[in-house]
Amino acid sequence: MFYKGNPVSKGIALGKVYVYKPYTPEITEKTFEPFRIDEYLQRYKDTKASAEMELQRIHALLSDKDPEKAKIFAAHIDIVNDVAITEEIMDAIQYDHFEPDYAIETVFSKYIKMISKSKDPVIRERAADFQDVKNRLIRNWHGIEESNLSTLSEPVVVAAYDLLPSDTAALDRKNVIAIITETGSFTSHSAIIARSYEIPAILGIPSLMSFIRHGEEVIVDAISGDLITEPGKEQIEQYTLMRSQYIKKVRESKEYLDKEPLTKDGVRIDIGLNIGSGNDEEIGHSQFSDFVGLFRTEFLYMSGDSMPTEEQQFEVYKNVLSGFKDKPVYLRTLDIGADKTLPYLDLPKEENPFLGCRGLRLCFDQINIFKTQLRAALRASVFGKLCIMLPMVSCIEDIRSANAIIEEVKSELSEIGIPFDSNVKIGVMIEVPSAALIADMIAKEVDFASIGTNDLCQYITAADRLNPKVTQYYQSYHPALFRLIDYIVSSFNKAGKPISVCGELGGDPQAIPVLVGLGLRRLSMSSSAVASAKAVLSNFTMDQMKEMAQQVKMLPASEDVIEYLVKTQNIKE
């Protein structure tokens, strides 16, 4: 039987299923006789202490092996010891005579509900941590031993409804050959952990827990998103071969990191980096890239609890520009709004935030924030090759207004004698269909552009990129997206202006040959995607990639495109 889900961490695995059902408490309202208050308060304190001890043990275990994951547990220790939560639980025991498990359930549920409603996806993700700590406390109250995925006796495909941070952080990496879940999307905890451990994973398989059986043999094809149960002998042979070819390919591609990005017939494709914080690690990656195709400056704004000052921004921009020396840096101006919020900036609630006041629109609305950023960037421009990139452009007027503001900032700097590079290039992200459809006009108004396929895909398919209910409609391989990219690229190539892709598609090995075939010569991606991008390029000639692009444009459905690309890239032969 074939089932479909979202492949969030690529790879192929064949093996036995281990159905993992984490402890899920069933709590009913329970109260006790008032004379037992002291006893229950003491027992709650003991419960809290033993939960904390468990967490300290996991934290210590991970501190050396994996400091990043250790941080998750440090945060859980903080939640266990949170003063407000502890006080509320103790009050519920003392004054309402709730039994501790019911008190824990009541208080934590209130917080989880609150956090889940946050507009900020980063805060929303924290609900899983609170859920995790709640379950741990209740399990300890009932004196039940912890069961997790840290000790497995043989290699297995872990199947679960969902995986909480503590399930995945202590995961026995050797023995988990794949992860399949009923819920979850590209940004969920399970997906992030699976990718960082390079474990193939398919999430969001509808009704998984109702049909999957513990111990049964399955094939997990986390390239195309297929889960195959009860596989036949032929399928097993076919996928075993595919698996070894895929592993070989990944191993080989890692060797490509330092190589020049050339197609099989020697055409140079420039590889850019998508960066966020502008720290030294990111700057260190400059050696194997040609430019920064996307500097997401909003990370600077999102990481602190107040607006970064002009001086703070100047220091970061200067560091990045001088780090990349003569390599162009596409500094994207503040792209806040919709999924990205700033805790210290009170923005009015919108019915449709993705269609609302985000990106450049917000900058026009909060002109001082915009001008501060432009001043910091222009001042830093003397240290490297600054290119200013405007997000969420939907019409020519946007470009004209932004240009006028940039000119204003330039003359203000000139008046007070502050130097800047007068030759700074101004470009846009093409991520809104209205802008894409007038790419020929836009090309006349800007120095360069970069295609933001993440947003372009959500707007062209009318599928919110964060809404798990519509992931099947958010189709990155939708032929419409490729047709639109074709139009944008040919418009810019005709105008002789640089065009690149900086959305996720730009670093997707399966999509890269198509993008190059459509005429792109500049691709920007996260540093982890560079090696395989270079490897893929070396596999195909320009003619082959052009042919692939032509074919893809003529296919009717996203699944046809995926099938075609998998076949042509010989992963499955």
Catalytic residues: 189, 502
When CB distances are held under 5 to 8 angstroms depending on the partner's kind, the choice from Mg ion, ligand PEP, none that residue 513 binds is none
| Binding residues vs Mg ion (CB under 5 A) | 431, 452, 455
Residue type for position 94: Q
> Shortest approach of Mg ion to residue 451 CB, angstroms?
10
> Shortest approach of ligand PEP to residue 335 CB, angstroms?
6
> Shortest approach of Mg ion to residue 250 CB, angstroms?
28
* CA–CA distance, 164 with 188 (Å, rounded to integer): 10
Nearer to ligand PEP, 170 or 515 (CB): 515
* Token pair listed for 407: 């000119």
> Shortest approach of Mg ion to residue 456 CB, angstroms?
8
* Token pair listed for 405: 């503001």
When CB distances are held under 5 to 8 angstroms depending on the partner's kind, the choice from Mg ion, ligand PEP, none that residue 296 binds is ligand PEP
Taking CB under 6 A as the rule, does residue 167 contact ligand PEP? no
> Shortest approach of Mg ion to residue 134 CB, angstroms?
35
Nearer to Mg ion, 66 or 120 (CB): 120
Token pair 């026009």 is found at 364
Distinct helix (H) and strand (E) counts, the chain? 23, 16
DSSP letter for each residue of 255-290: TTTTS--B-TT--B-EEEEEESS--HHHHHGGGG-S
Among 112, 149, 294, 336, binds ligand PEP (CB under 6 A): 294
Nearer to Mg ion, 211 or 354 (CB): 354
User: In sequence order, what are the residues at sequence separation of 6 or more whose Cβ sits closer than 8 angstroms to the Cβ of residue 399?
Assistant: 390, 393, 428, 442, 445, 446
Task: For residue 132, count CB atoms less than 10 angstroms from its CB and return exposed for 0-12, middle for 13-18, buried for 19 or more.
Answer: buried
Q: Max Cα separation, the chain? A: 85
Nearer to ligand PEP, 100 or 359 (CB): 359
DSSP 357: S
Taking CB under 6 A as the rule, does residue 394 contact ligand PEP? no
> Shortest approach of ligand PEP to residue 457 CB, angstroms?
8
> Shortest approach of ligand PEP to residue 88 CB, angstroms?
38
Strand partners, 292: 273, 329
Taking CB under 6 A as the rule, does residue 455 contact ligand PEP? yes
Give the strand pairing for 201-203 and 6-9: antiparallel
Among 148, 297, 453, 500, binds ligand PEP (CB under 6 A): 453
When CB distances are held under 5 to 8 angstroms depending on the partner's kind, the choice from ligand PEP, Mg ion, none that residue 502 binds is ligand PEP
Residue type for position 65: K
> Shortest approach of ligand PEP to residue 274 CB, angstroms?
7
Among 503, 509, 517, 519, binds ligand PEP (CB under 6 A): 503
Give the strand pairing for 226-229 and 217-221: antiparallel
Taking CB under 6 A as the rule, does residue 452 contact ligand PEP? yes
Residue type for position 329: V
Contacts with ligand PEP by CB under 6 A: the residue count is 10
Nearer to ligand PEP, 227 or 446 (CB): 446
Q: Are 497 and 486 in contact (CB under 8 A)?
A: no
Nearer to ligand PEP, 160 or 393 (CB): 393
Q: Would you tell me how many other CB atoms lie within 10 Å of the CB of residue 403?
A: 15
* CA–CA distance, 541 with 356 (Å, rounded to integer): 43
User: How distant, in Å, are the alpha carbons of 45, 161, 178, 226, 391 from that of 11?
Assistant: 45, 20, 8, 11, 33
User: In sequence order, what are the residues at sequence separation of 6 or more whose Cβ sits closer than 8 angstroms to the Cβ of residue 415?
Assistant: none
Among 502, 523, 533, 536, binds ligand PEP (CB under 6 A): 502
Task: For residue 227, count CB atoms less than 10 angstroms from its CB and return exposed for 0-12, middle for 13-18, buried for 19 or more.
Answer: buried
In the three-class reduction of DSSP (H, G, I as helix; E, B as strand; rest coil), residue 345 is classed as coil
Nearer to ligand PEP, 11 or 503 (CB): 503
When CB distances are held under 5 to 8 angstroms depending on the partner's kind, the choice from ligand PEP, Mg ion, none that residue 453 binds is ligand PEP
Token pair 């444009």 is found at 553
When CB distances are held under 5 to 8 angstroms depending on the partner's kind, the choice from Mg ion, ligand PEP, none that residue 294 binds is ligand PEP
Q: Which of residues 407-446 bind ligand PEP (CB under 6 A)?
A: 431
User: In sequence order, what are the residues at sequence separation of 6 or more whose Cβ sits closer than 8 angstroms to the Cβ of residue 311?
Assistant: 376
Taking CB under 6 A as the rule, does residue 296 contact ligand PEP? yes
* CA–CA distance, 295 with 265 (Å, rounded to integer): 31
When CB distances are held under 5 to 8 angstroms depending on the partner's kind, the choice from Mg ion, ligand PEP, none that residue 225 binds is none
Nearer to Mg ion, 226 or 455 (CB): 455
Nearer to Mg ion, 152 or 347 (CB): 347
> Shortest approach of Mg ion to residue 465 CB, angstroms?
9
The residues binding ligand PEP (CB under 6 A) are 294, 296, 335, 431, 452-455, 502-503
